[in-house]
Amino acid sequence: MAGSSLGLFLLFSLFLGQCVVELEASHRVFQNLQTSEPTSESQPYRTGFHFQPPKNWMNDPNGPMVYKGIYHLFYQYNPKGAVWGNIVWAHSTSTDLINWIPHDAAIYPSQKSDIKGCWSGSTTMLPGGKPAILYTGIDPNDKQVQNLAVPKNLSDPYLTEWVKSPKNPLMAPTAINQINASSFRDPTTAWLGPDRIWRVIIGSKINYKGLAILYRSKNFVNWTASKQPLHSAEHTGMWECPDFYPVATEGVYGVDTSTKGSSIKHVLKVSLDDTKHEYYTIGTYDTATEKYVPDEGQVDSDSGLRYDYGKFYASKTFFDSVTLRRILWGWINESSSVEHDIKKGWSGVQAIPRKIWLDKSVKQLVQWPIAEIEKLRVNQVKFPSKFLKAGSIAEVKGVTASQADIEVSFKIAEFEKAEVLEPGWTNPQLLCSQKSASVKGALGPFGLLVLSSKSLEEYTAVYFRIFKDHEKYVVLMCSDQSRSSLDADNDKTTYGAFVNVDPLHEELSLRSLIDHSIVESFGGKGKACITARVYPTLAIDDDAHLYAFNYGTEKINITSLSAWSLKKAQIN
């Protein structure tokens, strides 16, 4: 315990002002936390530009932030193996959100309040731009409790050392508040109310009702639970990794988490432990009643809006005060077996950071890969405008098809033969499964065949279909993994989403980031996103191919197509 030193005493005084307490040092060097190269020699599925550690297990992104011009990403990490366990907060920094350098673990078990694990949490910028981390610890009785850590040295832009409050835990489940000790985790970024009191929410549940439990504090140390949750929803189960933040109703810029006003809406995102899906709603936060109410038409359940309709979970946003963006991180887990993960020596990657803003309709969010990814682009290939005849494919040559960025736009001239959308076709994932890339329709499937073998024994199809629904047309976006690998042990789930675009009056755009075992796709200029994990056995490295295709009965016009090889980023 180093809390008796005058330096740490003054440090906490500097951070929190009203509550001067001692701190326990959190930083020591352990040899078993040092990273090394993966144990398996052949690594065809490691990524070229998606964030991942050199080896072992990684899951939730934690506490992303920017401090003194340096971006920080913390993440759940097992320093001892490729499966979940022994969880610490690993730490990497970057100047561009693409290239990363590793540091020693920032937070690891060292107190009674976190001795069985340091689970997910968030960073809050206190007055003066001072970062503070709230995170979930697991105590000796397996209770989930909330803890505080702050940097030891604010002059260090890399924030390599963190210290914990001896007041930990600051928030704990009790019989009085009826919180289940195993369902009380993942504090959000805190925000200041008009009364200058901090608020934070913790994910929880009572029976099968999901809860966002609200806590308040004047000094960021002494927290009191509100009598009612900020929001709840029946039949949703445990709410993991909640995220609550404001969005501007006009423009594409992000706003600080404490921003409020008439031109602001709020977003509540929750990760559902039962289904491993996320959903979000857009609504109004009433600071007087301390309640969040989703807007009319927002679906407060697993069938509602998602950031991503594929492999994407435990996501976290932060406000980038340098570029005035709200940036979204998300964990992409594996689709391979645990035995395969252990053999290759690692598991889990992070999605490309996405800029996120409110659509003009004010009914959904829009996402787009951060602009910095474009610095990796080389060797652009462009298609002239061309028609894809029924049942045809066209290879996109000249790019490294296993590590690429492709943008394509389609236009439909004739809609008369569009298939009628049946009343029961309301589940897009099920519809994509029933109407896979091999099932021919009139207007679709058309799109991209990525990570494809030359003779099409393997491919992942990302495509559109257009249906007629009374007096309008409905666009379905699919990511079909059913033929992605000849290895039968992999999860080959097909994903789907409806895209809120009008194909009569606007082109259909598709962008896919291809990275060896990841296909991250953005439809309708970011209105629908689907991420897939695939493990081809033939379409590896230089043997991967990329095609535009149209398996529908009607011709489709490619109005533009640009593809780039992507250089390898420097990651950890």
- Which residues form the catalytic set? 60
Q: Are residues 210 and 270 in contact, defined by beta-carbon separation less than 8 angstroms?
A: yes
Beta-carbon contacts of residue 489 (< 8 Å; ≥ 6 apart): 336, 337, 340
Exposure of 126 in the CB half-sphere (CA atoms within 13 A): 21
Pairwise CA distance, residues 130 & 124, whole Å? 8
Report the DSSP pairing between strands 56-67 and 346-347. Answer: parallel
Q: Are residues 347 and 43 in contact, defined by beta-carbon separation less than 8 angstroms?
A: no
Question: Alpha-carbon dihedral of residues 348, 351, 357, 362, nearest 10 degrees?
Answer: -60
| Cα angle for residues 288, 289, 291 (degrees, 5° grid) | 120
Pairwise CA distance, residues 192 & 569, whole Å? 37
Instruction: State the alpha helices, DSSP H only, in 296-344.
Output: 338-344
Pairwise CA distance, residues 417 & 438, whole Å? 19
Q: Are residues 556 and 410 in contact, defined by beta-carbon separation less than 8 angstroms?
A: yes
Beta-carbon contacts of residue 206 (< 8 Å; ≥ 6 apart): 178, 180
Give residue 430's Cα distance to chain centre: 23
| Cα angle for residues 6, 11, 17 (degrees, 5° grid) | 115
DSSP secondary structure letter of residue 456: S
Pairwise CA distance, residues 299 & 301, whole Å? 6
Q: Residue 279's CB: how many other CB atoms inside 10 A?
A: 22
Return the exposure string of 327-361: e unless at least 16 CB atoms fall within 10 Å of the residue's CB, then b. Answer: bbbbbbbbbbeeebbbebbbbbbbbbbbbbbbbee
Pairwise CA distance, residues 426 & 412, whole Å? 23
